[in-house]
Amino acid sequence: MLFNSIEFAIFLPVVFLLYWFVFNRNVKWQNLFIVAVSYIFYGWWDWRFLFLIAFTSFCSWGSGLLIARYRQQRIAKIIHILNIALNLSILGLFKYYDFFADSFARLFLQGNSDNLLLHLILPVGISFYTFQALSYSIDVYRQKLEPTRDIVQFFAFVSFFPQLVAGPIERATNLLPQFEKPRTFDYTQGVDGMRQILWGLFKKVAVADTCALYVNHVFGHYQTQSGPTLVVAAVLFAIQIYGDFSGYSDIAIGTAKLFGITLIRNFRNPYFSRDIAEFWRRWHISLTTWFRDYVYIPLGGSRVPKGKVIRNTFIIFLLSGFWHGANWTFIAWGTYHAILFLPLILLGKNRKYLNEVAEGRLLPSLKETAQILLTFALVTVGWILFRADSISQAWDYLLRIPHWGTLYSKGLLAATLLSIGMLAIEWLQRARQHGLDLRSTPHIWHYILYLILIAILFFSYSNSESFIYFQF
């Protein structure tokens, strides 16, 4: 079920009313209801994969109990490793088996992979809920979290429908305790949640989907396009993927607020970053911190010699690229960002910018402006790799950029104006939680809110694109 669909527009208010007026007697009823509606939400796409998410949830819940029971014995470590291996094996089978089989056939069987491929359908959101379930068992094993005996609470934690299929990837230490205590409706939180949903819909329906019309045409016919057109399409894809993914996160976080649940923030205005390190502290925060806490730090993090720090950095960027999909383009994209990160590590400047850009000022300085534009340009080059079907196509795309010619303009004006409007609002609101966080703001912002609502209604009829990160 898509957030930008008529089905969800009916589903959400019905679930909201039932949650607060029928199943509000105690926390057990609320949790049971959350599990039921989350499975309806997920099964709307393909009910067969409900068995898969239920199996993943049960195994992680059971392993947590067994780890706690045998905590001082070697068997706890064995159970922990088996649970990780089982979850990653399921993920690998559905997401990566055909990729490795096809690569093997190309290398050793002259490309004849017909008898090796399984052609399995990739379950929506499997990378997200697998990593979420794994965080629980790992934290239990590390004794950062006591296991829950309430299976309904745990199933609610894994399957909570707002963030089930595209994140944020929640930690059990943050989300699970919220299902353990009674929840009461907070009007202020609910209103803020509705505004965040609207902001997310604007970024997705109006901005990202309008950019997609231009981007899809240019990337689909890039061999016949001029250099300026290719540059503009790359920039608009950078805007598209940000509006699409951060828009989903805003809708998810805002929806969760309607049910008294607080999710972690997943984006913090990444395109205002002054270097690549700052960009990655602000982009897809839940995944970046997952790899940091469960891979980078266990490998030694930054408290090891420079050579090992570089090794650790390349490992997490390669894993991040591979997490996004079974294609060499994603691995190349991760490698590209690791290379960009390398000078900052060698110079010890990878944690230089921890504050908001132009803090306390309306406009950035010339130096900050140059840093933001350079970082955005470097990130945009990486997005060409991310968007391309193959590395050779991405390389061909880049080689054609110096060719001068006429700028393809169909749909460009609308995409440009909407993109500028979105970035302008996020710049003005950069110190707040989201673009329509309107607490203590001038009254004019309420008129902006009405304009955004009109834009959502207008563009929802002309644009309709699935969320990009559903494929991951």
Catalytic annotation, residues: 324
**Tokens coding 397:** 């795309």
Q: Which one-letter DSSP state was computed for residue 119?
A: -
**Alpha-carbon span 60 to 64, nearest angstrom:** 6
Amino acid sitting at position 441:
T
Measured in whole angstroms, the distance separating CA 456 from the mean position of its chain's CA atoms is 22
Q: Residue 234 is encoded by which pair of tokens?
A: 């790359």
Collect contacts of 37-45 with beta carbons under 8 A, ≥24 apart: 37/11, 37/161, 38/156, 38/159, 38/160, 38/161, 38/164, 39/159, 40/11, 41/1, 41/11, 41/161, 41/164, 42/124, 42/125, 42/159, 42/161, 42/164, 42/165, 44/1, 44/7, 45/1, 45/124
CA distance 276 to 338: 9
| Rounded (5°) CA angle 325-327-329 | 105
**φ, ψ at 38 (rounded to 5°):** -65, -40
Length of the chain: 472
Contact 156, 179 (CB under 8 A): yes
Please give the span between the terminal C-alpha atoms of the chain, in angstroms, as a whole number.
16
User: Helix crossing, 187-201 with 444-462: angle to 10°?
Assistant: 50
Considering only CA atoms, which of 361, 365, 364, 459 is closest in space to residue 414?
A: 459
